């Protein structure tokens, strides 16, 4: 379902939302004994406890958050849409390996809103059962993104590389199945959580490695003071100059384009939809005017969210 650009109303987000235990983050609904009740925010992430998504939830939502692990990105989106959790947090791109294509496709499929973002430094470690050396390792397992980000180290190590569904999940598997001569690429938090030994730290190819996570909610974020960012997905007619005209709408209003991503439309072969990140909030006059003009040049345009810019 395509969201209406004219009739969506911003509704309160985190501080003003009604969550379990009270109204607003850390503010109970009633006085008395309930004032001491701890307010928790249930947040879905992909992976196991100790994954980078688990860390990102705590970094963005703070100590009031209660991370809820889900096996797949689709499960996270479904949990938020169904109301099983309050919010979701998913990775959308890595500074080394690039975009997470599945997440972009899910943003289009679900009627959820991007309500915020956070950048998490990613320091990959090689983890194994205690008492082993690097030379003992014959196989390395992890999420495909972690393997790609550590490709140079793993190639030099000369081991079999096997993709798994999660970084911390791979560490958990090694512990639960007592897998020797097998190591996982995961974070130091997973080593501590599952009692594994760190054989090597900082094995990512590019040391300044960050992953950008986006927060998902069922309602749009309200306008806040300070810089904002807007994410949209759009499709253009399959004709010369169509994308050029759309980008010109932003340029004419002095709106800075931050990212442009294309994905298959899944409706016709070799036709694409485009995901754009740009500066400004949908309620700002320049952005509001640009969105109105984009309607003339696109076959559909959906605002995925406007939120405070942190990256």
Residue in the structure block whose two tokens are 């169509």: 242
Domain boundary among 187, 222, 257: 222
Find the domain containing 259 and state its range: 223-311
Question: Does any domain span residue 4?
Answer: no
Q: Is the domain of 15 the same as that of 134? A: no
Active-site positions read 211, 213
Q: Is the domain of 251 the same as that of 308? A: yes
Angle between helices 242-252 and 285-297 (to 10 degrees): 160
What does each of the 311 residues of the chain score in pLDDT, given as a tens digit?
Answer: 333 333 333 333 444 333 333 333 333 233 344 444 567 999 999 999 999 999 999 999 999 999 999 999 999 999 999 999 999 999 999 998 899 999 999 999 999 999 999 999 999 999 999 999 999 999 999 999 999 999 999 999 999 999 999 999 999 999 999 999 999 999 999 999 999 999 999 999 999 999 999 999 999 998 999 999 999 999 999 899 999 999 999 999 999 999 999 999 988 888 999 999 999 999 999 999 999 999 999 999 999 999 999 99
Which one, of 73, 91, 125, 88, lies nearest residue 212 by Cα?
91
State whether the Cα torsion 129-72-220-96 is positive or negative.
Answer: positive
> Which strands sit side by side in the sheet containing 257-264, from one edge to the other?
257-264, 272-279, 228-235, 300-308
Question: Does any domain span residue 148?
Answer: yes
Q: Is the domain of 64 the same as that of 142? A: no
Q: Is the domain of 241 the same as that of 308? A: yes
Q: Is the domain of 115 the same as that of 213? A: yes
CATH classification at residue 190: 3.40.190.10
Question: Does any domain span residue 30?
Answer: no
Q: Is the domain of 114 the same as that of 232? A: no
Task: Round to whole Å and give the CA distance between 116 and 96.
Answer: 21
Question: Does any domain span residue 196?
Answer: yes
Structure-token pair, residue 262: 């294309």
Q: Is the domain of 82 the same as that of 172? A: no
Q: Is the domain of 16 the same as that of 106? A: yes
Q: Is the domain of 214 the same as that of 69? A: yes
Question: Does any domain span residue 3?
Answer: no
Question: Does any domain span residue 31?
Answer: no
Domain boundary among 190, 222, 254: 222
Instruction: Provide the domain count of the chain.
Output: 3
Q: Is the domain of 130 the same as that of 106? A: no
Q: Is the domain of 140 the same as that of 117? A: no
CATH classification at residue 228: 3.30.70.260
Question: Does any domain span residue 5?
Answer: no
Does pTM surpass 0.75? yes
172-195: b (≥16 Cβ within 10 Å) or e = bbbbeeebeebbbbbbbbbbebbe
Question: Does any domain span residue 1?
Answer: no
Q: Is the domain of 218 the same as that of 178? A: no
């Amino acid at each position: 379902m395509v969201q209406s650009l004219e009739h969506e109303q911003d509704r309160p987000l985190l501080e003003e939302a009604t969550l379990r235990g009270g109204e607003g983050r850390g503010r109970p609904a009633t006085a008395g004994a309930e004032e001491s009740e701890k307010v928790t925010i249930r947040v879905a992430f992909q992976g196991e406890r100790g994954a980078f998504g688990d860390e990102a939830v705590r970094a963005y939502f703070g100590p009031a958050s209660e991370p809820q692990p889900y096996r797949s990105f689709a499960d996270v989106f479904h949990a938020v849409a169904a109301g099983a959790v309050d919010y979701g947090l998913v990775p959308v791109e890595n500074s080394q390996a690039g975009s997470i294509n599945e997440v972009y496709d899910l943003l289009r499929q679900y009627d959820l809103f991007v309500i915020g973002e956070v950048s998490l430094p990613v320091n990959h470690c090689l983890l194994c059962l205690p008492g082993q050396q690097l030379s003992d390792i014959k196989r390395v397992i992890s999420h495909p993104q972690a393997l790609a980000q550590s490709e140079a180290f793993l190639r030099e190590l000369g081991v079999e590389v096997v993709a798994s569904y999660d970084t911390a999940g791979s560490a958990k598997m090694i512990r639960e199945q007592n897998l020797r001569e097998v190591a996982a690429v995961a974070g130091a938090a997973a080593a501590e959580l599952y009692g594994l030994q760190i054989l090597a730290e900082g094995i990512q190819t590019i040391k300044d490695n960050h992953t950008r996570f986006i927060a998902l909610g069922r309602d749009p974020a309200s306008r806040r003071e300070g810089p904002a960012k807007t994410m949209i997905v759009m499709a253009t007619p399959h004709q010369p100059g169509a994308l050029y005209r759309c980008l010109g709408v932003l340029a004419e209003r002095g709106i800075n384009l931050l990212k442009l991503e294309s994905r298959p439309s899944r409706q016709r072969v070799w036709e694409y939809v485009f995901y754009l990140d740009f500066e400004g909030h949908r309620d700002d006059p320049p952005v509001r005017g640009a969105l109105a003009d984009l309607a003339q040049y696109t076959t559909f345009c959906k605002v995925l969210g406007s939120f405070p810019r942190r990256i």
